[in-house]
Amino acid sequence: MDATAGKHVMDKIAGRKSGLVWAVHLSAFALVLLWVVPTLGLLVSSFRTGDQIVGSGWWQAVSTQVQQLAAVRIAGEEVARDGLFVIEGQLFAAGTEVNAWGTSSVQPEAYAPGAVADLDGGVTLTVAADGSFVLSSPATMADLRMPRVFATAATPPEFTLDNYGTVIASPLAGQSIGQAFINTLTVAIPATIIPILVAAFAAYALAWMEFPGRALLVAVVVGLLVVPLQLALIPLLQFHNWIGIGKGYLGIWLAHTGFGLPLAIYLLRNYMIGLPRDIIENARVDGATDFQIFTRIVLPLSFPALASFAIFQFLWTWNDLLVALVFLGTGNDQQVLTGNLVNLMGSRGGDWEILSASAFVSILVPLVVFFSLQRFLVRGLLAGSVK
Amino acid sequence: MHPALQALVVVAVAVGGCIAYFYASNLILDKVLFPARGLNAGRNTTRANLIRPWLFLAPAVGLLGLYLAYPVFATAWLSLYGRDDSFVGFENYRLMFAEPKFGESFFNNILWLVVVPAASTAFGLLAAQLTDRIAWGNIAKSLIFMPMAISFVGASVIWKLVYEARPAGQDQIGLPNALYVWFSGADPVQWLQLPLWNNVFLMVVLIWIQSGFAMVILAAALRGIPEETIEAAILDGAGPFQIFFRIKVPQIAGTIVVVWTTITITVLKVFDIVLAMTNGQWETQVLANYMYDKFFRSLDWGMGSAAAMIIMALVTPILIWNVINARREMR
């Protein structure tokens, strides 16, 4: 049997017939759908108005909904016309089609559009299908309590960028997201670059330099990988206070460097060990010092591992909440995106339009970094994990 | 100075400083202290090479020692002191074990530790196998892996919308409640307030995030399985499920363990999700959030440190296992 015929037989026996293939595709699709739906829900919600988000599920965002609208209290300038005092205006957004309306919550659908309601004191109210109203009375309504209008209407889908505008510009939960964005960038970039530098030298030493205690040091690094950083918070805070830097950017840069070093050294060392031995040996024979070998050969060759760790560390520091809360403090001008978002959940938890837009502004950069540099991130994850 | 500008300056100073340190120290070592010239050239070079690794390692070892090693002991020490800075021995631990909130946190953590790594690894394995040979496998993998890129807080907002319950009679805006009300006609449920089940719903968030991580690693492991073992099984008449469970899974058992332990460590640290979604109410408290509470709300550093030591104790078995494996590999 030649190779291709053999492969066909294998395919058939291995269950790659159409039946199983269909099942695989369907199951994979269901799994992906399950994973994507939550994020999709929030994304769609961030483009809807607040009323629409709480009025109908996000999956109904593109269809016109018939629903009961929130009650609107009539307001407007009173004018005198034909011997009556009249207030006119528009109750609902353009495009809304009123199906039924009423003036009390007990009977919210008492009247059809265009019908006239008789209220106390000779006051009449009529609401048209397009949402416009006319309130008229023989006497002035200056002291009168304005009636509320309940309506069931078909509201067309309405998409808006307003939420993002509000969230980026105005201070909510302490400060604007725009400011928090800059703060997070200020924390993340030094906290990514500094560990790489320090770890690269250490990784090279642990990979290619012979010295007593090397195995022990590697074991210590592996052990420290696992230490939960909760343990380090209070002693380090005390230490920072003691040396006078207190809470602030310098403290958080140092903290992130310290916490990120075990992983950096581990990843980089694993990669450096895999570099071809001959190149380094030849360089040694040619009389190069370790410093020269490191800077001219190993460092350039290690670029993939450096890139992987850089992405890891950037995402980690960008998404971190605990270290920021502890070492940066909760002062408003130093708040990072995660802290801002947590505060919003507490103070504006019911305002989904604000919450969803803020959430997406805060996860935008990680998503962009992730999708564009996935390759390196995956490579970093795999280093040393596949046995 | 504006912090962003400050950051740029710091980066420049730090990078410059590091480079300067490494370059200068090597220079001094090679040219000043142990010059490779003259009578003692050979001996000097040997001595320089003995010292040089420590030059390379010094900043890293210093930072690691200060930021990770020292705090372990310092926290252990702190846990022996009371609120008024007096030595109280194990009183903090005794008080803590007596607190019902601690018992609840500990029990919940055990629940999280049992459920989340297992579920994430299982889903990851499933996703890895399903997306292995299909044409759109890479896109599928990307989408399942995506939750790992976003912050836990962002994920909490996403899932808070999913679990949302509007008052009875109104349209539901969270899918689970929408489906529940539609199918059963009953009132919508406050998922995060249900006893015991609310923990599961919180765990779902972490499972959603970590499964992508498990999937990526297990997919690579699956790719590494030699084709011959699978083909031999096929020739022996094995069906797809038998192949998967009897041939593939045993061969990637080592990787499965690595994935499991890594996710376990993440689970022990979980703090953001519980803080953001329930803040420990309705009996969802976990140790990391409990510890944060003690530190920064009660300002009880002694008890907070005691809680931190409990977390450390839970992590220690994995620490020992990892170190043993690393040493074994290095031989």
Question: Quick one: pLDDT at residue B128?
Answer: 92
Question: Quick one: pLDDT at residue B1?
Answer: 58
The residue of chain A with its CA nearest to that of B71 is A232
Write out pLDDT tens, residues B309-325.
Answer: 999 999 899 899 888 88
> Would you say residue A9 has pLDDT above 60?
no
> Measured between CB atoms, does B153 come within 8 Å of chain A?
yes
> Would you say residue A256 has pLDDT above 90?
yes
Helix axes B100-130, B137-145, angle to 10 degrees: 170
**Which residues in chain B are contacts of A359 at CB distance < 8 A?**
154, 157-158
Pairwise CB contact (< 8 Å): B272 & A386? no
Q: What is the mean pLDDT of residues A139-163?
A: 80
Q: Min CA distance, B81 vs chain A (Å)?
A: 13
Pairwise CB contact (< 8 Å): A322 & B309? no
- Rounded to the nearest integer, the mean pLDDT of chain B is 87
Pairwise CB contact (< 8 Å): B150 & A337? no
The residue of chain A with its CA nearest to that of B53 is A205
Best probe of the A interface among B56, B163, B264, B328, by most A CBs < 10 A, is B56
Pick the residue with more confidence: A54 or B214?
A: B214
Which residue of A193, A194, A234 is in closest CB contact with B78? A234
Pairwise CB contact (< 8 Å): A183 & B301? no
Write out pLDDT tens, residues B238-267.
Answer: 888 888 888 888 888 988 998 998 899 889
Tokens of A185: 């960038």
- Rounded to the nearest integer, the mean pLDDT of chain A is 83
Q: What is the mean pLDDT of residues B192-200?
A: 89
The residue of chain A with its CA nearest to that of B295 is A234
Do the beta carbons of residue B128 and residue B120 sit within 8 Å?
no
Cβ-Cβ contacts under 8 Å for A16 (sequence gap 6 or more): B133
Helix axes A249-273, A303-319, angle to 10 degrees: 150
Q: Considering the domain A165-382 in this protein, what is its CATH number?
A: 1.10.3720.10
10 Å CB burial of residue A124 (0-12, 13-18, 19+) is middle
> Measured between CB atoms, does B278 come within 8 Å of chain A?
no
Taking the model in full, what pTM does it have?
A: 0.82
Question: Quick one: pLDDT at residue A4?
Answer: 58
Q: Min CA distance, A124 vs chain B (Å)?
A: 30
The residue of chain A with its CA nearest to that of B331 is A215
Q: What percent of chain A has pLDDT over 70?
A: 92
Which residue of B174, B269, B330 is in closest CB contact with A218? B330
Best probe of the B interface among A179, A196, A217, A226, by most B CBs < 10 A, is A226
Alpha-carbon gap, residue B207 to B120, rounded angstroms: 5
Write out pLDDT tens, residues A21-56.
Answer: 888 899 999 999 999 999 999 998 888 888 778 877
**Which residues in chain A are contacts of B130 at CB distance < 8 A?**
24, 27-28, 31
With b meaning 16 or more CB within 10 Å and e meaning fewer, what string describes B278-308?
A: bebeebbbbbbbbbbbbbbeeebbbbbbbbb
Question: Quick one: pLDDT at residue A32?
Answer: 93
Q: Min CA distance, A90 vs chain B (Å)?
A: 25
**Which residues in chain A are contacts of B315 at CB distance < 8 A?**
226-228
Q: What is the mean pLDDT of residues A61-81?
A: 78
Do the beta carbons of residue A125 and residue A147 sit within 8 Å?
yes
Question: Quick one: pLDDT at residue B298?
Answer: 86
Question: Quick one: pLDDT at residue B199?
Answer: 92
Q: Min CA distance, B7 vs chain A (Å)?
A: 6
Pairwise CB contact (< 8 Å): B322 & A223? yes
Question: Quick one: pLDDT at residue A16?
Answer: 53
Alpha-carbon gap, residue A332 to A315, rounded angstroms: 23
**Which residues in chain A are contacts of B152 at CB distance < 8 A?**
319, 321
Q: Considering the domain B92-330 in this protein, what is its CATH number?
A: 1.10.3720.10
Write out pLDDT tens, residues A293-318.
Answer: 888 888 888 888 888 889 989 999 99
> Measured between CB atoms, does A265 come within 8 Å of chain B?
yes
Location of structure tokens 């046995």:
A387
Question: Quick one: pLDDT at residue B295?
Answer: 86
Confidence of residue A174 (pLDDT cuts 50, 70, 90): low
Question: Quick one: pLDDT at residue A387?
Answer: 41
**Which residues in chain B are contacts of A194 at CB distance < 8 A?**
11, 14-15, 18
Location of structure tokens 């090479």:
B49
Instruction: Give the range among A11-20, A91-100, A140-149, B43-52 with minimum mean pLDDT.
Output: A11-20
Alpha-carbon gap, residue A69 to A150, rounded angstroms: 7
Which residue of B134, B234, B319 is in closest CB contact with A28? B134
Alpha-carbon gap, residue B131 to B192, rounded angstroms: 32
Pairwise CB contact (< 8 Å): B255 & A385? yes
Q: What is the ipTM of this complex?
A: 0.85
**Helix (H/G/I), strand (E/B), else coil: A78:** strand
Q: Min CA distance, B110 vs chain A (Å)?
A: 16
Which residue of A54, A221, A381 is in closest CB contact with B217? A381
Write out pLDDT tens, residues A352-372.
Answer: 888 898 898 888 889 999 888
Q: What percent of chain B has pLDDT over 90?
A: 29
> Measured between CB atoms, does A318 come within 8 Å of chain B?
yes
**How many whole angstroms from its chain centre is CA B235?**
42
**DSSP per-residue codes, A126-177:** EE-TTSEEEEEESS--TTSPPPEEEEEEEEPP-B-SHHHHHHHHS-BTTB-H
